Amino acid sequence: MVKAWFYKEYGSVDVLQFGEIPTPSAGPGQVLVKVRAAALNPVDFKIRQYGVLRSADAPFPVVPGCDLAGVVVEVGDGVSKFKKGDEVYGDIQDFTAGNPKQVGTLAEFTVAEEHLLALKPTNLSFEEAASLPLALLTALQSFDTVGFQKGQSVFIVGGAGGVGSLAIQLAKHVFEASRIVSTCSTGKVEFVKNLGADLVVDYTKQSYEQVDEKFDFVFDTIGESFNSHVVVKEEGKIVDIASFPPHQKAVNVLVKPQGSNLERLGKYIESGKLKPVIDPKSPYAFSDVVEAFKHQESERARGKIVISHIE
Ligand SMILES: NC(=O)c1ccc[n+]([C@@H]2O[C@H](COP(=O)([O-])OP(=O)(O)OC[C@H]3O[C@@H](n4cnc5c(N)ncnc54)[C@H](OP(=O)(O)O)[C@@H]3O)[C@@H](O)[C@H]2O)c1
């Protein structure tokens, strides 16, 4: 048996229980990972609250969590990419492939398909590595979806959040945007500027209509494309990752995790150009997962919420 957080019904943080589940084992193409750190994402509480992305007959208990960094302790048949002892990281939940896994990353051990993982960058701690996959891959996929080109401009709605804080860095260092403008509330303006935004719009003081520029790409991480679309150029593109359906000019992106895309960003991570952004209240101890969820659900996190695991 392994220690894990799980729930047996949908609901508030009150449904979260700490206990033991049977030790998962690696099937063909999978590895068993000893989880050393995990990160939370809003989807973790949306699944727990409402069962989003799960079919009506999907089984309980559910161990939440998509992001992990850890150590491979067992490899299944046909695994060629990793061996025992490898330090890996990734988003283990591919929502585009059907129901999320029943056992996520808030467990001592969990199982993942090898193609979802990459070797952990050696310059990152387990906590730092765990903070990256889902949010970073969402941003990367969004820029790829619109075919973002070097020298184009981008307006990032929600620059202080888990996705936004990485999207700004991605725009600057990987896609070499000519101009990056982003939004947040008053207390986070300096923080967002320091991530690489050329200009920060304090949304408590300025509306989209008051922004006097137009952009090649609007990346809306808050789900406000019905308002934010006014800052896109006539021929520009909008990705909205948080409203369904989005404004008619916008497209949704649902993250499809891939270890190969983490590897693609490896040189930027290892050179320190792309930096993990860890919320000041993190890392949470594994025993404090309920507190971590409450903070995630406040929707005020500054960067990513991470959880250290049992040693
Ligand atoms: N489609 C996908 O595949 C996908 C993938 C990842 C995430 N998402 C969704 O994208 C959303 C963002 O995810 P996340 O991980 O970045 O969330 P998050 O880390 O919880 O975002 C928190 C941040 O949102 C900012 N914020 C809240 N309201 C805002 C507003 N009106 N304008 C600007 N900033 C605002 C807050 O900054 P202030 O305190 O300054 O307001 C806070 O720093 C969630 O709804 C999530 O479910 C979708």
Are residues 112 and 139 part of one domain?
A: no
In a domain, 262, yes or no: no
- CATH at 81: 3.90.180.10
Report DSSP letters for 141-156, one per residue.
HHHHHTT--TT-EEEE
Q: What is the mean pLDDT of residues 93-116?
A: 97
Residue 179 lies in a domain: yes
Q: Which residue has the least CA distance to atom 23 on ligand 1?
A: 161
In this model, does residue 227 exceed pLDDT 90?
Answer: yes
Beta carbons within 8 Å of 298's beta carbon, 6+ residues apart: none
Give Cα separations from 262 to 63, 99, 128, 134, 156 (angstroms): 24, 23, 14, 10, 21
Residue nearest to atom 4 of ligand 1 (CA): 241
The total of other beta-carbon atoms located within 10 Å of residue 22's CB is: 9
Give, as one character, the DSSP assignment of residue 273.
S
**184 lies in which domain range?**
135-251
Query: Is residue 264 one of the residues assigned to a domain?
Result: no
Band of pLDDT at residue 309, cut at 50, 70 and 90: confident
Helices (H), the chain: 42-50, 126-130, 133-145, 162-169, 189-195, 225-228, 259-264, 266-270, 289-297
Which atom of ligand 1 is found nearest the CA of 252?
Answer: 1
CATH number for position 221: 3.40.50.720
Closest residue to atom 12 of ligand 1, CA basis? 221
pLDDT band at 16 (very low <50, low <70, confident <90, very high): very high
Ligand 1 pocket mutation pick from 40, 41, 201, 258 by most atoms within 8 angstroms of CB: 41
- Check pocket membership of 185 for ligand 1, CB cut-off 6 A: yes
Residue closest via CA to ligand 1's atom 35 equals: 158
> Total domain count for the chain?
2
301 domain-assigned? yes
Task: Report pLDDT digits (tens) over 59-81.
Answer: 999 999 999 999 999 999 999 99
- Same structural domain for residues 211 and 294? no
20 within domain boundaries: yes
Residues 84, 15 share a domain: yes
Mean pLDDT of 49-54: 96
**111 and 15 within one domain:** yes
Q: Is 301 in the pocket of ligand 1 (CB under 6 A)?
A: yes
Task: Please answer whether residues 5 and 106 qualify as being in contact, where contact means their C-beta atoms are separated by less than 8 angstroms.
Answer: yes
Mean pLDDT calculated for residue range 100-111: 98
User: Mean pLDDT in the chain?
Assistant: 97
**261 assigned to some structural domain:** no
**What gap in Å lies between CA 83 and CA 148, rounded to an integer?**
36
- The residue whose C-alpha atom lies closest to atom 18 belonging to ligand 1 is 161
Q: What is the pLDDT of residue 311?
A: 66
Q: Is the pLDDT of residue 132 over 80?
A: yes
The per-residue b/e assignment along 281-303, b for 16 or more CB within 10 angstroms, e otherwise, is: ebbbebebbeebbebbbeeebbb
With respect to residue 217, please indicate whether it lies within any of the assigned structural domains.
yes
**Of 95, 145, 163, best ligand 1 pocket probe by most atoms within 8 Å of the beta carbon:** 163
